[in-house]
A = this chain, B = another copy of it.
């Protein structure tokens, strides 16, 4: 089971990395760029769990380690075709 997890900053949280990339793109001539937000993308491969177990376990992983839920939000999908 492969979990594909997106962790992004909550709305209203300052994103200095995104601001820096936005400026850098503008400076490189990409004047059409108006906003950049940067997050993390993780793929976690799980062994021998059912889809419903995986749902519960991946949520726990996000809450405990993968996301800082004070400032970040997460979402994930499960792909059961990947072993």
* Chain A interface residues toward B at CB < 8 A: 6-8, 18, 21, 24-25, 28, 30, 32-49, 57, 60-61, 64-66
A36 and B32 within 8 A (CB): no
Distance in angstroms from A23 CB to nearest chain B CB is: 11
A30-B57, A57-B30, A61-B30 given as contacts; is B25 within 8 A of A36 (CB)?
no
The 8 Å CB contact of A46, one of B34, B39, B45, B49, is B34
A34/B25 contact (C-beta < 8 A), A39-B40, A40-B39, A40-B40 known: no
List the B side residues contacting A60 at CB < 8 Å.
Answer: 30
Say how far A3's CB is from chain B's closest CB, in angstroms: 9
